[in-house]
A and B are shown apart, each in its own frame.
Chain A
Amino acid sequence: MILNMTDICKDYPMGKTVTKVLKNVSLSVNEGDYIAIMGPSGSGKTTLMNIIGCLDVPTTGSYEFGGRDIKKCSKRQLADLRNKKIGFVFQSFNLLPKLTAIDNVALPLLYGGVRRSERRRRAKEALERVGLADRMDHRPDQLSGGQCQRVAIARAIVGNPDLILADEPTGALDSVSGAQVMELFHTLHEQGATILMITHDRNVAENAETILHIRDGVLTGGDQDE
Chain B
Amino acid sequence: MFENIGLAFQGVWSHKLRSFLTMLGIIIGIAAIITIVSTIKGTNEQIKKNLIGSGTNTVQINLNRDGNPVDLQWEALPAGVRMITEEDLAAIRKLEGVQDVTAYHARGYVDGVYYGNTAYSGALYGIDSHYFSANNYRINSGRGLTADDFTNFRKVAVLEPAAVSALFNGEDPIGKTIEVMGEPYTVVGTAAQIVVNEPVINNLNDYYMYSSESAGTIFIPDVCWDISFRYDEPQTVVVRAKSTDEMASAGKAAADALTEAVITGNTYAYKASDLLEQASNLQSLSQTTNNQLIWIAGISLLVGGIGVMNIMLVSVTERTREIGLKIAIGARGGRILWQFLTEAAVLTLMGGLLGVAAGIGLAYMLSNVMGTPVAISIPACVIAVAFSTLIGVIFGLVPAVKASHLNPIEALRHE
Contacts and interface: CB of A to CB of B under 8 A. Distances in A.
Contact of A79 (B3, B321, B325, B332): B332
Contact of B409 (A55, A80, A94): A55
A94 B325 CA distance: 7
A110 B3 contact: yes
A82 B329 contact: yes
Interface residues of B, number: 19
A50 B409 contact: yes
A111 B4 CA distance: 12
Given A55-B408, A98-B10, A155 B329 contact: yes
A98 B14 CA distance: 9
A76 B326 contact: no
Contact of A107 (B10, B326, B333): B326
A75 B334 CA distance: 11
A53 interface: yes
A96 B322 contact: yes
Given A94-B321, A94-B325, A96-B325, A80 B330 contact: yes
B328 interface: yes
A79 to B, nearest CB: 5
Interface residues of A, number: 23
A107 B329 contact: yes
A84 B321 CA distance: 21
Nearest to A108: B329
B130 interface: no
A83 B243 CA distance: 68
B394 interface: no
Nearest to A83: B330
B309 to A, nearest CB: 23
Nearest to B332: A79
A63 interface: no
B408 to A, nearest CB: 5
A190 interface: no
Nearest to B327: A79
Interface in B220-236: none
Interface in B316-346: 321-322, 324-333, 335
Given A88-B328, A107-B326, A79 B333 contact: yes
Contacts of B328: 53, 55, 82, 88, 94
A75 B407 CA distance: 11
Nearest to B322: A96
Nearest to A85: B330
A17 B23 CA distance: 48
B412 interface: yes
Contacts of B330: 79-84, 108, 111-112
Interface in A89-142: 90, 94, 96, 98, 107-108, 110-112
A80 B3 CA distance: 20
A69 interface: no
A81 B10 CA distance: 30
Nearest to B14: A98
A98 B7 CA distance: 10
A126 to B, nearest CB: 13
B104 to A, nearest CB: 77
A88 B329 CA distance: 7
Contacts of A90: 325, 412
A80 B333 CA distance: 11
A94 B412 contact: yes
B332 A111 contact: yes
Contacts of B321: 94
- Nearest 9 CB-CB pairings of A with B: A83-B330, A94-B325, A82-B330, A111-B331, A108-B329, A79-B332, A111-B330, A55-B408, A79-B330
26 contacts: A50-B409, A55-B328, A75-B333, A76-B333, A80-B330, A80-B332, A81-B330, A82-B328, A82-B329, A83-B330, A83-B331, A84-B330, A88-B329, A90-B325, A90-B412, A94-B324, A94-B325, A94-B328, A94-B412, A108-B329, A108-B330, A111-B326, A111-B329, A111-B331, A111-B335, A155-B329
Interface of B: 3, 10, 14, 321-322, 324-333, 335, 408-409, 412
Given A84-B330, A111-B335, 4 more contacts: A79-B332, A83-B330, A83-B331, A94-B324
